[in-house]
Amino acid sequence: MGNQHVAAAGARTTPPAIAGCPEMSSAAPGSASDVVILGGGIAGIAAALELLDAGRSVTLVESRNFLGGRAFSFTDTNTGVALDNGQHVIVGCCAEFIAFLDRLGVRDRWFLQERLRIPVFSRNGKRGDLAASRLPSPLHLLPSFLAYPHLSLSDKLRALWGMARARFTNRDALELEDVTFYQWLRGNGQPERAINNLWNLVVEPTLNDNVREVSAAMGLMIVQEGMLSSVSSGNLGYARGDLLASIGEPARRMLEERGATLLLGDAVRGLEVSLEPKGGGECGSVAAVELASGRRVVGGEFVSALPFSALLRLLPPEVAGLEFFTRIGRLEWSPILNVHVQYDRPVMDLPFCALVDSPLQWVFNRNAIAGDPTGGGQLVTISVSAAWDFIGLPREELAPMFLAEMAAAFPAAGEASVLNVTVVKQREATFRCLPGAGRLRPDPVTPLSNLFLAGEWTNTGWPSTMEGAVRSGQQAARAVSRKSRL
Ligand SMILES: Cc1cc2nc3c(=O)[nH]c(=O)nc-3n(C[C@H](O)[C@H](O)[C@H](O)COP(=O)(O)OP(=O)(O)OC[C@H]3O[C@@H](n4cnc5c(N)ncnc54)[C@H](O)[C@@H]3O)c2cc1C
């Protein structure tokens, strides 16, 4: 391949003449100390903070006019209430995300249980709790598990055997990447009811896919890290307010205070790449990124913290066709549906609960979580993971279906008046941890010498979570620093 400049379709290869702003960078244009970050989700924010700590100057480009990416909130035009795109939950083992909150100075805006307790209802109202006792790990869940009403005694004995097997299985064994967690569970004696009412209850909301779809490696990761690693690893938490106030806004303030240049509301339209064969598997470098406004941003290094599908669209075809990038293109998305219902009176007392045999899956009482956002009445958020059966249906069908389910599960909901229903569909909510997906996730270093990858879909060992996003941003920033030292 000769020395040539290429750009993604629709992008310009020469800077446009825009009065006052022909070329942008955070320090001297093109200076090697400049790092340009594409995407202002949690991964981009984490990368920016790490690079600022390392003394680099940072320019961050984000297509929307706020930070936070897939963890965002918006004002409902019907009610004026701030709603999250989807209820976001953390667990005690999300150590890097919790440290990230500390760093943003917003740890107190997030609640984290001191001891795990998940109320689990069946559709006919029978309640059982999965809760941590004072016993040491991994026995801490045992008392609540023995009393758990959604499994028979023989299911429980087999589930205990499955837990013991899960604890002592090396999830990094190569063959576990190629089979589903369901196959692993069946192979380890798990009956269908234990799979549905216990294993899937934990796996589906965390991996946003059914146990029948995800790899055994990732299913085991969830069980080992979230349930068995320590007494506090599964403690549940969430933002006490809306996500924008709990991540995006504080991050914007902090990055601005620390001198980062934020280009918000301006989408990257293409990467301008200079192709030239180099040693070590590298085949060129990024010269600049072209923005929708016509700006051309140059820099020493570029960190893409974009979703994989967005990144692939921005690469010039010659680059997108490299095996490194075509492999990434085989990753897939899984959808999440959130239904926000505003009632005229309280319909549930608990802050949240899970349901084993209902499409409601998880229901969150936003009054208990975020104060009363409605000014009277109650706002509940129904969170449906792996929402394949619902994502294509219109709001007019979804709203009555979920209201009927609420009335079946919560008698008070059947008597209350519904003031508003807002349905939020996120088709590209999380990348799928299907068998083999682990091998498609790249490390931060790419064949372009100064392009680094972040984003929760990169190779972090974590599923599509805020924890994974923070880790990916840190990994990419450290790869930039390592490269600069060479
Ligand atoms: C409904 C829902 C519920 C979820 N629930 C949970 C949960 O309970 N717990 C949990 O840990 N995780 C949850 N997640 C997943 C979590 O939100 C994501 O894994 C995480 O936010 C991903 O962060 P990221 O920075 O890697 O990517 P993103 O947040 O996708 O950030 C990428 C950024 O790039 C920007 N961008 C895209 N294209 C361009 C362009 N051309 N130019 C410039 N900018 C661009 C986007 O606007 C975005 O801000 C949920 C996700 C959804 C959608």
Q: Where is the domain boundary, 208, 234, 260? A: 234
Q: What is the pLDDT confidence band of residue 169, given thresholds at 50, 70 and 90? A: very high
For residue 464, how far is its CA from the centre of ligand 1 (angstroms)?
9
Q: Where is the domain boundary, 204, 234, 264? A: 234
Same domain as 120, residue 190: yes
- Ligand 1: atom nearest CA of 61 is 43
> Does residue 103 lie within any of the structural domains?
no
| Residue in this structure with the two tokens 């009176």, named with its chain if needed | 345
Same domain as 302, residue 446: yes
Same domain as 222, residue 133: yes
Same domain as 345, residue 318: no
Q: Where is the domain boundary, 413, 431, 449? A: 431
Same domain as 11, residue 65: yes
Q: Is 72 within 8 Å of 244 (Cβ atoms)? A: yes
- Please indicate whether residue 475, judged by its CB atom, sits closer than 6 Å to ligand 1: no
pLDDT at 217 > cutoff 80:
yes
Q: Which residue has the higher pLDDT, 485 or 338?
A: 338
> Does residue 466 lie within any of the structural domains?
yes
pLDDT at 28 > cutoff 60:
no
> Does residue 414 lie within any of the structural domains?
yes
Q: In the predicted model, what is the mean pLDDT of residues 65-82?
A: 95
Nearest CA-CA partner of 302 in 484, 55, 463: 484
Same domain as 225, residue 209: yes
> Does residue 99 lie within any of the structural domains?
no
> Does residue 345 lie within any of the structural domains?
yes
Residue count of the chain = 486
pLDDT at 30 > cutoff 60:
no
pLDDT at 473 > cutoff 60:
yes
Q: In the predicted model, what is the mean pLDDT of residues 65-75?
A: 97
Number of domains comprising the chain:
3
| Residue in this structure with the two tokens 């010039």, named with its chain if needed | 316
Rounded to the nearest angstrom, the gap between the alpha carbon of residue 246 and the centroid of all alpha carbons in its chain is 15
- Please indicate whether residue 267, judged by its CB atom, sits closer than 6 Å to ligand 1: yes
At 297, which CATH number?
A: 3.50.50.60
For residue 347, how far is its CA from the centre of ligand 1 (angstroms)?
31
> Does residue 254 lie within any of the structural domains?
yes
Same domain as 229, residue 145: yes
Range of the domain at 378: 333-431
> Does residue 413 lie within any of the structural domains?
yes
Same domain as 380, residue 457: no
> Does residue 122 lie within any of the structural domains?
yes
Same domain as 49, residue 129: no
For residue 71, how far is its CA from the centre of ligand 1 (angstroms)?
6
Same domain as 38, residue 178: no
Q: Is 340 within 8 Å of 399 (Cβ atoms)? A: no
Q: How far is CA 478 from CA 93, 384, 482, 485, in A?
A: 22, 36, 6, 11
- Ligand 1: atom nearest CA of 42 is 25
| Residue in this structure with the two tokens 């790990």, named with its chain if needed | 137
Q: What is the pLDDT confidence band of residue 280, given thresholds at 50, 70 and 90? A: low
Same domain as 218, residue 361: no
At 411, which CATH number?
A: 3.90.660.10
* Distance, CA of 151 to CA of 56 (rounded, Å): 55
